């Protein structure tokens, strides 16, 4: 039996690569040394988790997602924004909310196909742009953010 890459579940290595970067960002937040890019990637992953919840693919996580997004907002408020970023201490309840949601997001990703992840991401990008926001993409190290350019359908990831 053959499946194309869009309709098969994400491979464990794909999930691990994504989660590895996010867990590093979380560790840096915990240590008080997170960059704005790391924060932005972690926050975005929580928004993608919310989109997955709304799509109905993996359900029942809304309260966890809300707590994680509130933790992100509080942390960003203390740390500043891109131009004036200074990582702050993270509070225990924020650590708890984000740590739990990272585990749950990993579970979400393990249940999804590449197509579903792509759809969730595209919906978040469209919502952000329609609200006048800017969309960036990070490299795997999260060292560089570049302006998001959508891939054409059928193009390699």
pLDDT tens for each residue of 90-129: 999 999 999 999 999 999 999 999 899 989 999 998 988 8
Phi-psi region of 142 (alpha: psi -120 to 50; beta: other; left: phi over 0): left
Q: Three-state SS for 95?
A: helix
pLDDT in tens, the chain (157 residues): 334 455 788 999 999 999 999 999 999 999 999 999 999 999 999 999 999 999 998 899 999 999 999 999 999 999 998 889 999 999 999 999 999 999 999 999 999 998 999 899 999 989 888 888 777 776 666 666 666 666 655 555 4
């Amino acid at each position: 039996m053959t499946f194309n890459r869009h309709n098969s579940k994400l491979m464990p290595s794909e999930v691990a690569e994504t989660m590895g970067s996010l867990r590093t960002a979380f560790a840096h937040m915990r240590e008080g040394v997170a960059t704005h890019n790391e924060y932005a990637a972690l926050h975005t992953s929580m928004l993608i988790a919310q989109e997955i919840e709304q799509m109905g693919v993996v359900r029942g996580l809304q309260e966890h997602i809300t707590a994680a997004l509130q933790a992100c907002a509080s942390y960003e408020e203390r740390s500043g924004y891109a131009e004036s970023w200074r990582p702050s201490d993270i509070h225990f309840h924020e650590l708890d909310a984000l740590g739990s949601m990272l585990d749950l997001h990993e579970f979400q990703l393990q249940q999804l196909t590449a197509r579903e992840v792509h759809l969730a991401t595209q919906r978040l990008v469209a919502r952000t742009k329609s609200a006048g926001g800017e969309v960036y993409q990070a490299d795997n190290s999260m060292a560089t953010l570049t302006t998001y350019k959508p891939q054409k359908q059928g193009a390699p990831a």
